[in-house]
Amino acid sequence: MLLLKDKVKKKPNKMSVMRPALILVSHVSVVFLALLAACATRGDEAIALAQGAGWKWETMSAKTFDLAAAIAPERQGKTLWVYIEGDGRAFLSPTQPSSDPTPDDPVALRLALAYPHDTPTAYLAHPCQYAAHGRNCKAAYWTNARYAPEVVASLNEAVDDLKAQTKTSRVVLVGYSGGGALAVLIAARRQDVAEIITVAADLDLAYWTKRDGLTPLTDSLDPADFAAAVAKIPQVHFSGALDTSIGTDVANAFISRLPSDAPAKLIEIPGYTHTCCWPENWARLDILASPNPWSTKPSTTPR
């Protein structure tokens, strides 16, 4: 009997078989929850930033997308300043798109909150920011098709809605990074734009992608192709002298597409990068502090 008992195979313990699977599922769940928490944190911080300043945060339903927006407390004036966010977290690596383009640092929102004048002001996020699983959201809209016609059309409709809410008749479009590209593309569709202001913007996609060996944004509109359409609109383009992401040469490439007498000015700020230090010093930049003589020649403003 002892010999027979020794030869009997032990039945596997169900828990020991299941344990590796349970551990794997547990690890996947932790990673997934961590990603959700990170996305929520990024969005919640921006919303708290806006609401903490007394701004109203809302979701606007446009043609193709639902867009996150913020509006300053009631202010007087007939011109609405609209700040447009950059591309946000478009990629996790050079080849891997992000699952959520919500920006780590909402620079355009911080610029809007730092705007020093008491005039109607609003903020618009890029489609799918703060709502990555919203209507029609897919990675193409924050990668190759980030400036697609439907993206521009939705933002343009949102500008109309913001004008109606604020009872204004004209708009100043201010765009940071990719938001600057969108500011030009939106302005090309409108007759009520008083001014275009861009900050560290990718204004000539063909030049920029070729310079850096990037995949061309074939499903996006190129702002440089619309230079003639906005040539009569006063515009100021800021760039950082230390910006290695976009750079002054990209803005210059766009400026070169404008007529020589266009009311456009390029201002390169010494010491500034793509992200530093625009919001912190926005009120001090001379385009907001005092009128500027218009010129197509690049100039510099001391930090």
pLDDT of 9-48, one tens digit each? 444 454 444 444 434 334 444 434 444 444 457 789 999 9
Distance CA 206, CA 228 (A): 16
Asked if residue 198 lies in contact with residue 180, where contact means CB atoms within 8 angstroms, the answer is yes
246 within some domain: yes
146 within some domain: yes
Asked if residue 301 lies in contact with residue 282, where contact means CB atoms within 8 angstroms, the answer is no
Q: Which two tokens stand for residue 115?
A: 């705007």
Distance CA 70, CA 54 (A): 10
11 within some domain: no
226 within some domain: yes
Task: Provide the whole-model pTM.
Answer: 0.83
Q: Which two tokens stand for residue 227?
A: 């230079």
pLDDT at res. 40: 52
- Within 8 A by CB and 6+ apart from 80, the residues are 119, 120, 121, 122, 162, 163, 166, 168, 170, 171, 172
Please measure the distance between the N-terminal and C-terminal CA atoms of the chain and give it in whole angstroms. 92
pLDDT at res. 286: 55
Residue 90 sits in a domain whose CATH number is 3.40.50.1820
Length of the chain: 303
CB atoms within 10 A of CB 190: 16
140 within some domain: yes
Give bridge partners of residue 80 from the DSSP assignment.
171
234 within some domain: yes
Question: What backbone phi and psi angles, to 5 degrees, belong to 165?
Answer: -65, -35
pLDDT at res. 74: 85
Distance CA 255, CA 241 (A): 17
Q: What is the DSSP string of 37-59?
A: HHHHHHHHHHHHHHHHTTPEEEE
pLDDT at res. 287: 53
Are β-strands 56-61 and 66-71 bridged in parallel, bridged antiparallel, or unpaired?
A: antiparallel
Give bridge partners of residue 268 from the DSSP assignment.
239, 300
Distance CA 204, CA 221 (A): 10
- Within 8 A by CB and 6+ apart from 285, the residues are 238, 267, 269, 301
What is the chain's pLDDT, residue by residue, as a tens digit (303 residues)?
333 333 334 444 544 444 444 343 344 444 344 444 444 577 899 999 999 999 999 999 998 999 999 999 988 899 999 999 999 998 998 889 999 999 999 999 999 999 877 899 999 999 999 988 899 999 999 999 999 999 999 999 999 999 999 999 999 999 999 999 999 999 999 999 999 999 999 999 999 999 999 999 999 999 999 999 999 999 999 999 999 999 999 999 999 999 999 999 999 999 999 999 999 999 888 554 344 433 334 444 433
Q: Which two tokens stand for residue 5?
A: 């008992």
Q: What is the DSSP string of 163-221?
A: HHHHT-SEEEEEEETHHHHHHHHHHTT-S-EEEEEEES----HHHHHHHHTPPP-TTS-
Question: Is 142 in a helix, a strand, or coil?
Answer: helix
For the chain, what is the domain count?
A: 1
- Within 8 A by CB and 6+ apart from 138, the residues are none
28 within some domain: no
Distance CA 67, CA 154 (A): 8
48 within some domain: no
